[in-house]
Chains A and B, each alone.
Chain A
């Protein structure tokens, strides 16, 4: 099962990289989002997966009893999801603005710093 998750992560990364290499700016943003999802899942899965056990201390106990999910990667991924959201929002706004200003989204035409009007 974990191997399958690993393959899914690989596919997310592959899809993300493929999109990054395209000339369309919209594709670039999609690529960033895919890699973001893949990276979150990677962090989550890298420490091993425990099914059906959370990282919550049951009432009546004072410490987290094994088996339990590893809380640290979860905390990291939680932060990453939120940051990733902020980043995606910013990228979308930037994409929107760039297209408004330049009228195209062909990355190969972004070589000069000046906008020719």
Chain B
């Protein structure tokens, strides 16, 4: 119950927020943080079970017919993610209460971000892939609303839309992958899929499944070539970026990869796909980050780079690399959320995020600086921070792998660049001489709690890694390996290659940091070219898609009734012909016998009259022809034992002719609008449809059902309903409700007619 509760609690809070918020003054809105904090506590209460390698499951049937259930499962990996989502979520909501104090629409913010939070929590706790996908899409939609929070700004709207299209598009691909996977394995439960892993990997659809699912993961975690949406999504208010774009949403992609590693991982296809995509992203993003001046842009690129690292580590597929991936994910969530909040505080208090203008803030913003420094040292990989542990594992697993040279060199480059990016955010704005033009002051306490707490945790967990090893690393590792064994985490491993590499990285990184200005100046323009190209091709793609939609709409929705008719009728006749020719078989013509000459003459006359009715240019002739057809059909009803039909038909025909007579002199003369050619086409088309219908009738007559439905009416009409005329009994007794409906239709039609005619009279008199 408690897993469901921890998700439902946040959902309920989200929906109650608009009602509650009006009673909570802006200053006290940090109280909203109590919601995720409660969930955090709920999840923490299971820590001892998790530490023993147990998983907690809760199953709720939802749509059992489709094997879609709400199966919540808390194992090591989801425990880690859930803690990050709720823990950082609580701090972010506290932070946001300070950051958004002035915003009018901040109720909307709290509502949406709580929906996002609940969806994200549901995502990581879902064991059923379909349910997970639903939460996944819910995060996409809510993040769209959050990125476009400043919706008056057209640029924010545009970028939110871009993020939505990229991630939702990837989500759809992933959905296709999930369906394939479910079809192949016969279940959507991850915990059951694992038992079918070998079969799935040998299946001929394996590559397709991996590609489709990876499309979802790569778009969500902004891997190359889908990376461009994340820097653009920095248009979001900073609390949103700090939450979605550091610790939670962008991690959903790598979380999925990790989750499915025991199912899909371990093949060389998986290895190469993840290692190359992740590796390329980590280097490209880290180097692009060097050329930016905007704090949030720099953060976005360093996030991209770390997401690349995690993808790469998951792809490498060794136990060492899984450990590194977990540590990297954990360390990154702590320091990146801090740095984002710091960037937001700087922006909030100084009004700029341009690092060339930000100098010497250490005196006015000492607490912010402290938090920033701690987080930056962690990102840079200084001992004894968690970031250092993560990097040690990264190097260690690279050294351990058979793609050693490639991995080590790329790991080195990206770590060095990440060092520079860390210092550009964490130290550059605070050190040096003060910029007199900027009047800054320290952020309010609500905006300090989050960054300072997380900054300190980065340090504490590095100094005392015991609890991390016990509660986070060992259980999460079990999610990769499917078997649990406790692992140790030590800060000091003695002097080894990884440590030496670390030290070289720090030295080189520091050197590079000193050269940061030169790099940026020399590289100005490079980024514009690169990024604009991606933006441009995205915009072009979108535009041509819209063009295509317009073109196809025009084609189908031409506005001409004639073409609609042709399409509709061809569909009808085409399907009918198809069934007759290929499924049912063409009917045989055999009932030509016993035709009296007089009947033949009668039918031929009716046929001729029909043709006259269609082609005549005289209104009176048309009217008379219709009358003749109607009465002719009456005769047919008479001949074949349907006196009731004949009576009704005579009445109706008479009335119709009278009605037609009333309006006919007010109707326009027939005009031949169509060209000869069009008419010829119409005639041929109509003949084909007519022939198809003829075949249908003959076919229907040839078939005979052994137990006709009407038998029951024939037998019970007199005995139960006391009527001898079976047709009448059906209408007024057996199917009386149908007749009632018919009366209603008729009255509505009568009402319509009388209204249409009455209005007319009024206008005439005016």
Is the CB of B622 closer than 8 A to any CB of chain A?
Answer: yes
Establish whether residues B756 and A97, one from each chain, have CB atoms under 8 Å apart when the complex forms. yes
Q: A57-B724, A108-B673 are in contact. Are A41 and B752 (CB under 8 A)?
A: no
A17, A50, A56, A104: the one within 8 Å of B686 (CB): A17
Neighbouring A residues of B689 by C-beta, 8 Å: 13-14, 17
Neighbouring A residues of B561 by C-beta, 8 Å: 28, 107, 110
Q: A4-B600, A5-B697, A42-B693 are in contact. Are A74 and B644 (CB under 8 A)?
A: yes
Establish whether residues A37 and B715, one from each chain, have CB atoms under 8 Å apart when the complex forms. no
Neighbouring B residues of A9 by C-beta, 8 Å: 693-694, 697
Comparing B12-20, B535-543, B586-594, the segment that makes contact with chain A is B586-594
Residue of A nearest to B752 (CB): A90
Neighbouring B residues of A71 by C-beta, 8 Å: 710, 713-714, 717, 726-727, 730
Comparing B82-90, B272-280, B649-657, the segment that makes contact with chain A is B649-657
Is the CB of B63 closer than 8 A to any CB of chain A?
Answer: no
Establish whether residues A59 and B610, one from each chain, have CB atoms under 8 Å apart when the complex forms. no
B685, B713, B746: the one within 8 Å of A17 (CB): B685
Establish whether residues A11 and B700, one from each chain, have CB atoms under 8 Å apart when the complex forms. no
Is the CB of B526 closer than 8 A to any CB of chain A?
Answer: no
Interface size grouping (class) on chain A? 35 or more
Is the CB of B760 closer than 8 A to any CB of chain A?
Answer: yes
Establish whether residues B645 and A50, one from each chain, have CB atoms under 8 Å apart when the complex forms. no
A59 to B76, CA, bound (A): 84
Establish whether residues B613 and A57, one from each chain, have CB atoms under 8 Å apart when the complex forms. no
Establish whether residues B668 and A105, one from each chain, have CB atoms under 8 Å apart when the complex forms. yes
A41 to B725, CA, bound (A): 21
Q: A71-B710, A96-B663 are in contact. Are A86 and B746 (CB under 8 A)?
A: yes
Neighbouring B residues of A104 by C-beta, 8 Å: 668
Comparing B30-38, B136-144, B197-205, B635-643, the segment that makes contact with chain A is B635-643
Q: A14-B690, A70-B708, A90-B753 are in contact. Are A4 and B595 (CB under 8 A)?
A: yes
Interface size on B (CB < 8 Å)?
Answer: 99
A23 to B674, CA, bound (A): 7
Establish whether residues B652 and A81, one from each chain, have CB atoms under 8 Å apart when the complex forms. yes
Q: A37-B630, A37-B633, A78-B644 are in contact. Are A26 and B667 (CB under 8 A)?
A: yes
B613, B667, B701, B731: the one within 8 Å of A75 (CB): B731
Is the CB of A62 closer than 8 A to any CB of chain B?
Answer: yes
Neighbouring A residues of B642 by C-beta, 8 Å: 44, 54-55, 69, 74, 77
Is the CB of B660 closer than 8 A to any CB of chain A?
Answer: yes
Neighbouring A residues of B611 by C-beta, 8 Å: 11, 15
Is the CB of B707 closer than 8 A to any CB of chain A?
Answer: no
User: Scoring B residues 703 to 741 as 1 if CB is less than 8 Å from chain A, else 0, what string do you get?
Assistant: 010001110011101110000111100110001001100
Q: Do most interface residues of chain A lie in helix, strand or loop, or is the interface mixed?
A: helix
A20, A45, A46, A77: the one within 8 Å of B565 (CB): A20
Neighbouring A residues of B560 by C-beta, 8 Å: 107-108, 111
Establish whether residues B726 and A81, one from each chain, have CB atoms under 8 Å apart when the complex forms. no
Neighbouring A residues of B735 by C-beta, 8 Å: 75
Residue of B nearest to A79 (CB): B742
CB distance from B650 to the nearest CB of A (A): 10
A3, A54, A96: the one within 8 Å of B643 (CB): A54
A95 to B645, CA, bound (A): 28
Establish whether residues B591 and A1, one from each chain, have CB atoms under 8 Å apart when the complex forms. yes
Establish whether residues B639 and A15, one from each chain, have CB atoms under 8 Å apart when the complex forms. no
Q: A55-B727, A63-B718 are in contact. Are A18 and B652 (CB under 8 A)?
A: no
A3, A10, A69: the one within 8 Å of B591 (CB): A3
Residue of B nearest to A65 (CB): B714
**Which residues of chain A from 91 to 113 have any CB-CB distance to chain B below 8 Å in the complex?**
92-97, 99-100, 104-108, 110-111
Is the CB of B583 closer than 8 A to any CB of chain A?
Answer: no
Is the CB of B749 closer than 8 A to any CB of chain A?
Answer: yes
Neighbouring B residues of A4 by C-beta, 8 Å: 592, 595, 599-600, 603
A89 to B663, CA, bound (A): 11
Q: Which of A2, A28, A84, A104 has the most CB of B within 10 A?
A: A2
Q: A81-B652, A83-B745, A86-B750 are in contact. Are A8 and B727 (CB under 8 A)?
A: no
CB distance from A8 to the nearest CB of B (A): 5
Instruction: List 3 A-B pairs, minimum CB-CB distance, nearest first.
Output: A14-B690, A10-B694, A86-B749
A-B contacts, 24 of them at CB < 8 A, read A6-B698, A7-B607, A8-B607, A12-B629, A13-B693, A15-B610, A17-B689, A18-B682, A21-B565, A21-B566, A24-B670, A30-B613, A40-B633, A47-B708, A55-B641, A57-B717, A78-B731, A85-B652, A87-B749, A90-B756, A96-B666, A100-B763, A106-B673, A110-B561
